[in-house]
Amino acid sequence: MTTAHRSRRPEPRPRRAIRPAAAVALTAVLALTASACGNSGDAAGGEGDGKGTVEFWDNNGGVRTPVWKKIIAAFEKKHPDIDVKYVPVPITEVQSKYDTAIAGGGLPDVGGVKTADLANMVAQGALEPVGDRIEDGPLKGRLSPGMVASVRAAGGEGDEMFSVPTSANQSVLWYRTDLFEKAGLDAPDDWETFYEAAEKLTDAGDNKFGFTLRGGAGSVAQALDMMYAQSGVGTFWKGGKTTVNAPENVEALEKYAGLYKKATPAADLNNDFTKMVAQFGSGDIGMLLHNLGSYPDHVKAFGKDRIAGIPLPPSADGAPRTIPSNPVDGLGLFRSSDNKAAAWKFIAFAASHEMNSLWNEEAGAIPARTDAAGDAWVEDAAPVKAAMESLNDPETKIVQLPYELPDWNHISKAGTEPDFQKLLLGEMTAQEFADKLAGLLNEARAEWNEQREK
Amino acid sequence: MALAVAKEPRGTGRRRAGGPARLPYLLISPAVLLMLGFLAYPMISVLYYSLRHYNVTKPWRNGFAGLDNFSALLADDLFWQSLVFSAQWVGTEVALQLALGLALALIVNQTFVGRGISRALVFSPWAVSGVLTTTIWMLLYNPSTGVSRYLADAGIGSYGTSVLSDPGTVFWAAVLAELWRGVPFFAILILADLQSIPRDLYEAASVDGAGRLRQFLHITLPHLKDAIVLSTLLRAVWEFNNVDLLYTLTGGGPAGATTTLPLYVANTGIHGHDFGYASALTTVAFVILLFCSILYLRLSKFGGDRS
């Protein structure tokens, strides 16, 4: 009987038995669909009652966590009815974290936003305009006009501002004063001295190099600094086309790339800023180009007496400096926030004189508050002071990089960094690299202009 | 059957759960839900986006694309380069991991003093996470503090160099790091199968005059066939999809020299924001893997009669 039972074809199951399983599956699919469509980044949100919890994403979490904790503690003491939920996001992951939250929901009320990321977020409708709030509050007239202009330009929506600028950075030519003195070299404040020093300080057989360059992540931004500073070309666009492949810039790029292996370690090909700064700090390398942010690392490695930082030299004796604009860091208010009133209180507090000064002192950056520029710590931090002076010099030509282009980040990073490595390896000429970069930029700008005209 | 049902005791779990026909569905429903949520939904989603232009930073471009993304990738040099590199990476890694894993498994299957410690050492890299593996190897390859620095101190090679920054050496440097992590996987699986081979087969072969090589070829290998087929297939799929080690060790560079197809997908989606095109690349990668897996299982007659 058992055998007969096993060999018998199973009888069809009643239809109603399948229904529960089908219902469960259908419910699950619908739930997934619903969750995928929920609370996208461009939801309108609301003002709220000015109390409750404000979620804040730090766009350089880890490195800046201690100073933000101080600012948040001071804010919560002043506003006991508001709690700030601090979320540190590593700088390398912040872009994808924002993109994911914009697409799938879960954006904070306030977030750190650099001008380099602003265009992407504005294009996705994620950020609330803050121009009126600035004009109607204590921040009016207190923010650096240059940084305000950068924020407006990066947003790509005319004069509207989509973040409150808090600090700016600038590329600095850091050099080891002890090595320069020992070699009898002057400070590298002109290009001839720079290249001479790079060569004289190099003795590869004895593990000594004149310069360390950035060949990995961030290489193109650094190359642009070197190109424009040497060439003196003062604008990024001319006649609707980029000046990246102008003959003066190509020549400058060729000289800069020529340093690779001649005056730099071969391993520089993969350098991102962490590796580059670590390498500078652990060996006998004469010079490094990096922003103000690495000042504490250099002081820690060598002490204040053995390191100095100056702005990149002017293109020629007596000529004004040419500086490509560095991204301006700021705080953005998200459109989807249901508690914008409380969120704005936090932004305004973080951008107050005292807090902005504190943040920039610890970060070694240039404060956005005009009234913080004269603070004692700025006087003591020579590289920061020199950077501020060069930026504020009316003769200085600031080359505004096209942060407003949604493609800018991709083009200037993953889109062309492998080509920059080909240039260093001799697999591509400076002209070919500059032409490719220019082609991508011109195409992106044409598309952007076309959309704005529609 | 009617008799069997009549004899069933009252108040069994089957009755309480709502009848015999519903119970199996209830029992498998968690697994079904998980599969729907974590397999079916993402796959359908990727397929859907592969047929669309979807770039989060350029919303004006978004919309139905038909097969545009697929025709674009046929003309994309980077796609073909990354596909060729992926094939090279998978072939080299799986072949070397299998050979070394088999050798190690055969060694630690022998009886000798210190076998327990040896086995632990052989298997330990498998317990190390991908990120830690990369960190270890990055320190070894570091130009200032790694092996090259000490070699230069000893007069071998130059200062300031790294195998990761030389296009001529970066491939083998990455292969070595991944071998360290991957060999134990094969060794563990093969050792488990080796221990299930009856000893009397070897004794009988010995009596018949078979040497160690003949025993290996005619007893060991045929017994290991299924384990080898399954582990190489699994490892090939994992190596094809390998992102963590290459992303953190080389970033796909220098100059794109170590960019696999999944790395290209990550760059296109995460950095380029072009999720439509990245989805099309993912779909093609999925089809390639599926086709290769089926072909491999057919050719190897996996699970067939060993006799």
Q: pLDDT (tens digit, 9 = 90+) per residue, A82-96?
A: 999 999 999 878 888
Confidence bin at B1 (pLDDT 50/70/90): very low
Chain B residues in contact with A264 by the CB 8 A cut-off are: 160
pLDDT at residue A21 above 80? no
Q: Cα–Cα distances in Å, from A377 out to A105, A135, A175, A359, A373?
A: 41, 28, 22, 12, 9
Residue B228's Cβ-count burial label (10 Å; 0-12, 13-18, 19+) is: buried
Chain A residues in contact with B254 by the CB 8 A cut-off are: 215, 269-270, 418, 421, 425
**pLDDT > 90 fraction of chain B, expressed in percent and rounded:** 60
**pLDDT value of residue A40:** 47
Chain B residues in contact with A451 by the CB 8 A cut-off are: 60
Average pLDDT over residues B218-242: 91
Average pLDDT over residues B285-294: 92
Confidence bin at A249 (pLDDT 50/70/90): very high
Cα separation, B7 vs B4, whole angstroms: 5
Chain B residues in contact with A92 by the CB 8 A cut-off are: none
Chain B residues in contact with A282 by the CB 8 A cut-off are: 144-145
**pLDDT value of residue B18:** 52
> A429-443, B18-32, B234-248: lowest mean pLDDT where?
B18-32
* 3-class secondary structure, A190: coil
**pLDDT value of residue A135:** 94
- Per residue in A82-134, pLDDT (tens digit) is 999 999 999 878 888 898 898 788 999 999 999 988 888 888 889 999 999 99
- Per residue in A193-208, pLDDT (tens digit) is 999 999 999 999 999 9
Chain B residues in contact with A406 by the CB 8 A cut-off are: 57-58, 273
Beta bridge pairs of residue A332? A111
- Chain-chain contact of A269 with B26 (C-beta, under 8 angstroms): no
CA-nearest residue of chain B to A216? B254
Nearest to A96 among B37, B158, B270 (CB): B270
Confidence bin at A41 (pLDDT 50/70/90): low
Chain A residues in contact with B4 by the CB 8 A cut-off are: 5
- Chain-chain contact of B32 with A21 (C-beta, under 8 angstroms): yes
pLDDT at residue A428 above 70? yes
Confidence bin at A1 (pLDDT 50/70/90): very low
CA angle B289, B292, B295 (to 5 degrees): 145
- Chain-chain contact of B144 with A215 (C-beta, under 8 angstroms): no
**pLDDT > 70 fraction of chain B, expressed in percent and rounded:** 92
Chain B residues in contact with A105 by the CB 8 A cut-off are: none
Average pLDDT over residues A8-23: 42
The better pLDDT of the pair A17, B179 is held by B179
pLDDT at residue A429 above 70? yes
pLDDT at residue A75 above 60? yes
> A32-41, A127-136, B126-135: lowest mean pLDDT where?
A32-41
**Averaged confidence pLDDT in chain B:** 88
- Chain-chain contact of B160 with A29 (C-beta, under 8 angstroms): no
Average pLDDT over residues B231-237: 91
CA-nearest residue of chain A to B29? A21
> A32-41, A388-397, B225-234: lowest mean pLDDT where?
A32-41
pLDDT at residue B177 above 90? yes
CA-nearest residue of chain B to A264? B160
- Chain-chain contact of A28 with B37 (C-beta, under 8 angstroms): yes
Q: To 10 degrees, the CA torsion angle through A93, A96, A101, A104?
A: -140
Q: Kindly state the DSSP code that residue B60 receives in the 8-state scheme.
A: G
- Per residue in B102-132, pLDDT (tens digit) is 999 999 998 888 889 999 999 999 888 888 8
Listed in order, strand segments (DSSP E) in B7-158 are: 52-53, 63-64
- Chain-chain contact of A24 with B33 (C-beta, under 8 angstroms): yes
Average pLDDT over residues B79-90: 95
pLDDT at residue A73 above 90? yes
Cα separation, B288 vs B282, whole angstroms: 10
ipTM over 0.90: no
Which among A11, A42, A268, A270 is the top mutation candidate for probing chain B, defined by the most B β-carbons within 10 Å of its own β-carbon? A270
pLDDT at residue A344 above 70? yes
The better pLDDT of the pair A9, A186 is held by A186
Q: Which residue has the tokens 């990761």?
A: B164
Q: How far is B257 from chain A (nearest CA, A)?
A: 9
**Averaged confidence pLDDT in chain A:** 87
- A413 and B CB contact within 8 Å: yes
pLDDT at residue A33 above 80? no
**pLDDT value of residue B70:** 96
- Chain-chain contact of A267 with B143 (C-beta, under 8 angstroms): yes
- A407 and B CB contact within 8 Å: yes
- B155 and A CB contact within 8 Å: no
The one-letter code for the residue type at B136 is: I
pLDDT at residue B52 above 70? yes
Confidence bin at A146 (pLDDT 50/70/90): confident
**pLDDT value of residue A394:** 85
**Residue A228, both tokens:** 């424009």
- Per residue in B143-171, pLDDT (tens digit) is 888 999 999 999 898 899 999 999 999 99
Q: How far is A250 from chain B (nearest CA, A)?
A: 20
Q: How far is A203 from chain B (nearest CA, A)?
A: 10
**pLDDT value of residue B61:** 84
Cα separation, B278 vs B262, whole angstroms: 9
Where does A209-350 have alpha helices with state H?
219-231, 247-257, 273-282, 295-302, 340-350
Chain B residues in contact with A273 by the CB 8 A cut-off are: none
Listed in order, strand segments (DSSP E) in A325-450 are: 328-333, 366-367, 397-399
**pLDDT value of residue B55:** 87
Query: Are the C-beta atoms of residues B239 and B289 closer than 8 Å to each other?
Result: no
pLDDT at residue A20 above 80? no
Chain B residues in contact with A209 by the CB 8 A cut-off are: 160
Chain A residues in contact with B21 by the CB 8 A cut-off are: 13-14, 17
Cα separation, B240 vs B85, whole angstroms: 10
- Chain-chain contact of B1 with A204 (C-beta, under 8 angstroms): no
**pLDDT > 70 fraction of chain A, expressed in percent and rounded:** 91
- Chain-chain contact of A270 with B254 (C-beta, under 8 angstroms): yes
Average pLDDT over residues A427-454: 93
- Chain-chain contact of A414 with B267 (C-beta, under 8 angstroms): yes
Q: Report how many Cβ contacts below 8 Å link chain A to chain B.
A: 134
The better pLDDT of the pair A346, A6 is held by A346
Residue B252's Cβ-count burial label (10 Å; 0-12, 13-18, 19+) is: buried
* 3-class secondary structure, A184: coil
- Chain-chain contact of A266 with B252 (C-beta, under 8 angstroms): no
pLDDT at residue A26 above 80? no
